[in-house]
Amino acid sequence: MIHFPERLIFLFQAFLISLLMTVFVSGVSTFVSVGTINELWFDLWFGVCGLSWLISFPALFLILLFVRKTSVGCGCSCESQNKRV
């Protein structure tokens, strides 16, 4: 099991969530626009996936920062939740 420093867990979480969501959403949207899975689909998918991840990672990072700050104000501490796991 890989152990990350407490400060880097948040960054790794944003990276992993944005990567997984980008792969799924760009795959589905490429399939809807192309219609079949063939060589053209893979070429388009890889191009779109990389471009959309460049947008989704910073966006998700900022959204998670906002959620983390507001959830601390409502009594839900992220640090206490991580210690329970």
- Mean pLDDT of the region 66-84: 66
pTM over cut 0.85: no
In tens, the pLDDT along 20-73 reads: 999 999 989 888 888 888 888 888 888 889 889 999 999 988 998 888 888 876
What local confidence, expressed as pLDDT, does residue 85 receive? 46
d(CA 41, CA 36): 7
Average pLDDT over residues 4-25: 86
Predicted pLDDT at 5: 80
Task: Please tell me the predicted confidence (pLDDT) of residue 71.
Answer: 81
Residues with Cβ < 8 Å from 25, sequence gap 6 or more? 52
